[in-house]
Amino acid sequence: MSEIDTAEAERHKVKMAKRKAVQDAEVAGKTVAEKGLLIVNTGPGKGKTTAAFGLALRMLGYGKRVGVVQFIKGKWHTGEKDAFAAFGDHVAWHTMGEGFTWETQDLKRDIAAAQAAWEKALDLMADPTISLVVLDELNIALRYDYLDLEKVVAALRGRREGLHVVVTGRNAKPALVEAADLVTEMGATKHHFAAGVKAQQGIEF
């Protein structure tokens, strides 16, 4: 790296001072101190559930309880489930799915599993000791009409004050996107699976 002269350093200082002023003004304009958020992680790219569990870990770091309901995943043993088990009662974990839809090939069974998972989700959202609920792959259950979209969105909108909810899965329904406070679209720029690399322990599960 070339040596920075005095003039360049001063220009940088002025530039950063202006940027800080803009940033400070933007932060000062936010008037809502705290709000329970409805967060949606969707899109074709990898990382939707991983991001949700990152938030769960952050919440646990502050000593708060977390609830997890997995709507589709069921057959795979995952490292994250084992890791969160170390937090004991601080995590209420419920894997309710029976595997991906193309594996079960049983519509009636898939609908029943999704409805049972949604009932468990409602229980967790009603629990005042839980600060964050992760509804993993709920978007998939909604995509295949295993659940009533209007009822689900209404329940998420009407959740108790202060509760954060994260919904994951591809193809989020427009009604859910509209109801959400934060929506992240995970892009699929490049994926090792396309190059023939199988799902790996510690990366995919």
Burial class (CB in 10 A: 0-12, 13-18, 19+), 10: exposed
Average pLDDT, rounded, for the chain = 91
Grouping H, G, I as helix, E, B as strand and the rest as coil, residue 33 is coil
DSSP 98: -
Beta strands in the chain (DSSP E): 38-42, 65-70, 91-95, 130-136, 164-168, 182-185
Burial class (CB in 10 A: 0-12, 13-18, 19+), 122: middle
Instruction: Match 């295949």 to its residue by tokens.
Output: 144
Picking from 201, 202, 166, the residue whose alpha carbon sits closest to that of residue 181 is 166
Query: pLDDT category, 31, cuts 50, 70, 90?
Result: confident
How do residues 145-190 score in pLDDT, each as one tens digit? 999 999 999 999 999 999 999 999 999 999 999 999 999 999 989 9
How do residues 33-57 score in pLDDT, each as one tens digit? 789 999 999 999 999 999 999 999 9
Picking from 137, 160, 158, 153, the residue whose alpha carbon sits closest to that of residue 53 is 137
CA dihedral 136→142→144→147, nearest 10 degrees, is: 110
How do residues 107-127 score in pLDDT, each as one tens digit? 898 999 999 999 999 999 999
